[in-house]
Amino acid sequence: MQHHKLKVSKTAHIYTLGQPTVQGTPFGEGVKYLWFIAHGYGQLASRIIRKFEIFDTTEHLIVAPEALNRFYWKFGTHEVGASWMTRNDRLDEIEDYSQYLTQVFDHYRGQVGEHVKVILFGFSQGCATQVRWLLRGPVRFDALILWGGLLPEDIDYQPYVDVFQGKKIYFVCGDADEFINQERIDWHLDFAQKQNILLEFVAFEGKHEVLSSVLEQVFEGLRT
């Protein structure tokens, strides 16, 4: 048996809230915040973006690309989920989603003014996805929110210290998260400190979920 690889094109699906053009202002000038969201394993972009409906879409442009790998989430049902990568051919999948995210990010970044603040948001598997992507190329961002997920631990961050300096980096986790216990939280905070990455830890009462009320509080914190 021979294994071959071939680059192919694929239709991607992206969901947004807000418009880059606001009536009475130049193109994109009304937008103050550009959110770029990576959903979690088994989620769909169309679901996670609903958590962001709390924001004023005249000031916030929220972009949620959907991972290119879809599957039936539960056997015997029609519920569909998506995944950014698996362990099989993982380097190829990281390269593929990184190119995909760059293309989507550049498309929407070009539709807003230079003054806009860029907030990268990852949930669960989307945390590692965001970090691996932003380290593969120059991505100008102002804040990174890692929600219910961790920094990839197989990366030496020392060569990338400048990428994170001057940025607001949040690690947000529920106190009843089914996948991240207190021991894991402590390890993650210690790992980040050793890598010279300053994380602001935000704990909330809840499980492995994004709560809009907590999201609003985190946003208020990064605005200051």
Task: Delineate the domains of the chain, giving CATH numbers in brackets.
Answer: 14-223 (3.40.50.1820)
CA atoms within 13 A on the CB side of 203: 9
CA distance 124 to 81: 14
For residue 194, the model assigns a pLDDT of: 94
Does residue 14 contact residue 64 with C-beta atoms inside 8 Å?
yes
**pLDDT tens readout for residues 104-133:** 999 999 999 888 999 999 999 999 999 999
Does residue 84 contact residue 131 with C-beta atoms inside 8 Å?
no
Residue 23 pLDDT greater than 70, yes or no: no
Q: Supply the Cα-derived Rg of the chain in whole angstroms.
A: 18
CA distance 24 to 198: 40
Does residue 29 contact residue 1 with C-beta atoms inside 8 Å?
no
Q: Which residues are CB-contacts of 163 (< 8 A; sequence separation ≥ 6)?
A: 134, 135
With CA atoms as reference, report the closest residue to 127 among 72, 188, 46, 178.
Answer: 188
- Angstrom CA distances, 178 to 44, 149, 175, stand at 20, 11, 9
With CA atoms as reference, report the closest residue to 174 among 146, 200, 206.
Answer: 206
Residue 219 pLDDT greater than 80, yes or no: yes
**pLDDT tens readout for residues 130-155:** 999 999 988 999 999 999 999 999 99
Tell me the mean pLDDT in the region 36-51.
95
